[in-house]
Structure formats: C-alpha cells, structure tokens
C-alpha cells in the first residue's frame, strides 16, 4: 500500500478532521498509487494521520476515509458507514413526511464523493471522486443490503468528475431501469422527478424546507419565481394561496415538467404565467415595464463552481438581486439563494446588501435559510454548507 507524507506543518487541517489533502501539502508519495487507491497519510515525521483515497489528477490529492489506524478500507467498511448514514436519517421529521430524501451526503457523512438520494423505491447515486469510483460496486451492493430499494440508478454526470479525470456515467446500476419519471411526496404535495436527465439527481431535495417557508408566505401575493426548474417553489406558492405566479426558466423541458406538477396537484393554471427566457433579460424587461411583485424567489444555478470563479459569481449575484429589489413593492419579500460553495454566507449577505444599496432600498433580513437536514454539514468541513439563502423584507 502506498503512503503520502506531508510537508512540515501541513497536518494541521487533518488534525482538525478536515478530510482533504491538497497537492501542495504533500512532500513525498511512496509506492505508485493509482486512481482511488487507499493510501496511508503521514505527517512529516512519519506518524499516522488517516487512510484516504488517492487522486493523481485532482488538486485535492487525497480524500480521507478514516482517521482510525485499525480500520481496513473495504466492503465491510462501506457497509458499516453507509448504514450509519442511513440510520442517522431515521427519526428526522422529514423522514416521516416524504418518500424522497438524501441518504448519504458525501464528506459530511464521512464518505467523500458518495451521494445517495432516495426517490420512493429507487436510489439515485453519484460517485464524484476517484475513491468513490473505485469502490462503486461494493457501495452498490451495500445499499441494496441496507435498504428496500427496488433499483439503483447511477447519475455520475456531474462536472466535478472532470476534475478527477473521470468520464460521465449514467444508467441502471442494480435492478431494472426505473421509470423515466418517479412521483414523490413532499410537504403534502406531489412532484414528478426525472431521474434520467433532471438537475442533480432529479430534484432539489436540499430546498425542501425553504419551499415550505415560501408556501407559508404566499397567501394573496403576486409572486415572481426565477429559475423555477420543475416548479418546486411555484407549486408551493400556489398551494399556499398565491394570487398569481410568474415563473421563468431557460429550459422549455423544465417548464413543461413544472406544468405537469401543477396539474398533478390539481392546481389551476389560470393565474400562472410560465415563461421560457433568460432570467437576467426577463428581469430587465420587467423593470423597463415598471412591473412590481409582492414576493420574488431567486434560486439560480451555481455561479461559482470553483474558487477561481468567485469574483465573477459575485457580480452575477449582485446584478440579479439588484434587479429583484427594483421589482418589489414596498413591504415586498425577496427570497434569494446561492448554492456556490465558494461564496460563503457572510460574502453572500454582503453581496445582497450591496445590491439593496445600489437599488436605493432599505431592507431587513427576516430569516437565514439553509439546506435541509438530510444534507448535514460536518463541523470540520464548512465547505459542506453550500446552500445559503436570505428572506428579506423591503421597507
């Protein structure tokens, strides 16, 4: 088995249980470890620190599997740790209210690069790192043993795999292929999930609680839902008694799925305006026409996939929030999100505050919003807190 020895002083993050070892922290690699192979991580004096998966193509050169020297990384290890992650979800409130939730959340569950989402009796998995890829078959076998899933479908098509020099892979992994669309229950509402080509693994499970909050604020309001995708916020707004909803997305397929989800919940389309458009351009058009709304939801895609994109992302977030502030009536509510891990909560608040200042409005934060509880954040892994949101009232 190969080993990785760190430069002097570079073990501090590992001693705090952060699971990443960057290439620049490594002094020496012994042996010839291949993609995903388990290596021993040592400090500069040769003392054991952790077992991790080696990734020669990535700047994150090692991702930690275990801090215990006695652990053996193999099928039994994954059976135990997957079981612990699944067990941790049992008893949570949402586990009793929905048949769709995240069962394994990568680093925050001690399983770097492993994502497992449950949609009814189908599991959708992603293997996003070299280590996860190497143990793909053992992980799939363990998931069948630990759950009552009828089938497992793989969606290893996220862009992050390119950083690991891994090809995209999608298709049935265990059992028969699931139906193209699966009906799930969430907060008393039903949604169709496209597990084959839908965003992420098919549905934004992390926004479950935030959709419920929008539903509670929707009564009698005229609402603008930007980047609406399959209608998660749209359906909740109408179920909450919204007077009207204008929903915008660049994808006609997403808008069609949103329309189907409205019909699935027996919600009238009479006061719904589904628009296929670039959101930035649409908002500028609304501004020029002096349109106003009572509540606006901004749930854009990731603007900063890596740290090098933070400045560009900040400009995008400021522009879109500035436009939204200009479209709100006095007393209106802005529900705004960032899912860019490189933009932390403090920076996001500063960006939105700058947008309000440039828009000439005074505003107050009513709530901070985060990802749902089945997407936990390891205390030693702040990067896991990728979704952050603000509920803001304009004076």
Domain ranges in the chain are 3-66, 75-179, 204-394
**Separation between Cα atoms, residue 350 and residue 258, nearest integer Å:** 32
CATH code: domain 75-179 is: 3.30.750.80
Q: Of 151, 170, 226, 339, which residue is the catalytic one?
A: 339
> Catalytic: 339?
yes
- Paired with 5 in beta bridges are 28, 42
Listed as ranges, residues in the chain with pLDDT below 50 are none
Which three-class secondary structure state does DSSP give residue 13?
helix
CATH code: domain 204-394 is: 3.40.50.150
Which three-class secondary structure state does DSSP give residue 330?
strand
Model's pTM, two decimal places? 0.94
Residue 219 has what pLDDT? 98
Cα 369 to chain centroid distance, Å, stands at 14
**Separation between Cα atoms, residue 73 and residue 131, nearest integer Å:** 11
Structure tokens at 94: 């949402």
Architecture (CATH level 2) of domain 3-66: Roll (2.30)
Residue 306 has what pLDDT? 64
**Separation between Cα atoms, residue 262 and residue 67, nearest integer Å:** 48
**Separation between Cα atoms, residue 52 and residue 40, nearest integer Å:** 7
**Separation between Cα atoms, residue 233 and residue 245, nearest integer Å:** 10
Q: What is the DSSP letter of 384?
A: G
How buried is residue 266: exposed, middle or buried, by Cβ count under 10 Å (0-12/13-18/19+)? exposed
Mean pLDDT of the chain: 95
- Of 127, 74, 138, 75, nearest in space to 104 by CA: 127
Residue 93 has what pLDDT? 65
Angle between helices 136-146 and 75-89 (to 10 degrees): 50
**Within 10 Å of residue 292's Cβ, how many Cβ atoms?**
15
Residue 307 has what pLDDT? 64
């Amino acid at each position: 088995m190969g080993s990785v020895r760190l430069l002097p002083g570079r073990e501090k993050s590992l001693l705090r249980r952060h699971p990443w070892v960057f290439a620049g922290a490594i002094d020496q690699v012994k042996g010839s470890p291949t993609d995903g192979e388990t290596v021993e991580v040592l400090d500069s004096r040769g003392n054991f620190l952790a077992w991790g998966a080696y990734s020669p193509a990535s700047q994150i050169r090692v991702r930690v599997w275990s801090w215990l020297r006695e652990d053996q990384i193999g099928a039994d290890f994954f059976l135990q740790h997957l079981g612990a992650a699944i067990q941790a979800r049992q008893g949570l409130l949402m586990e009793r209210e929905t048949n769709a939730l995240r069962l394994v959340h990568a680093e925050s569950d001690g399983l770097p690069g492993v994502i497992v989402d449950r949609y009814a009796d189908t599991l959708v998995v992603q293997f996003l790192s070299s280590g996860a890829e190497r143990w793909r078959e053992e992980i799939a076998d363990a998931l069948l043993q630990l759950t009552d899933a009828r089938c497992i479908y793989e969606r290893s098509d996220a862009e992050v795999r390119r950083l690991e020099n891994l090809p995209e892979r999608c298709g049935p992994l265990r059992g028969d292929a699931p139906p193209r669309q699966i009906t799930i229950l969430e907060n008393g509402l039903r949604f169709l999930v496209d597990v084959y080509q839908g965003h992420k693994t098919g549905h934004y499970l992390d926004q479950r609680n935030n959709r419920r909050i929008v539903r509670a604020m929707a009564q009698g309001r005229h609402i603008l839902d930007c980047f609406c995708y399959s209608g998660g916020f749209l359906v909740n707004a109408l179920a909450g008694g919204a007077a009207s909803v204008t929903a915008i997305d660049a994808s006609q397929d997403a808008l069609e799925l949103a329309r189907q989800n409205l019909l699935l919940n027996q919600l009238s389309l009479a006061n719904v305006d589904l628009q296929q458009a670039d959101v930035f351009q649409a908002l500028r058009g609304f501004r020029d026409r002096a349109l106003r709304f009572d509540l606006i939801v901004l749930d854009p895609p990731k603007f900063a996939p890596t740290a090098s994109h933070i400045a560009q992302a900040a400009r995008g977030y400021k522009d879109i929030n500035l436009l939204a502030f200009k479209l709100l009536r006095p007393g209106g509510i802005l529900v705004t999100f960032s899912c860019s891990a490189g933009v932390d909560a403090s920076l996001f608040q500063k960006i939105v505050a700058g947008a309000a200042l440039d828009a000439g409005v005074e505003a107050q934060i009513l709530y901070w919003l985060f990802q749902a509880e089945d997407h936990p954040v390891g205390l030693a892994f702040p990067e896991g807190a990728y979704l952050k949101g603000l509920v803001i009232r304009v004076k």
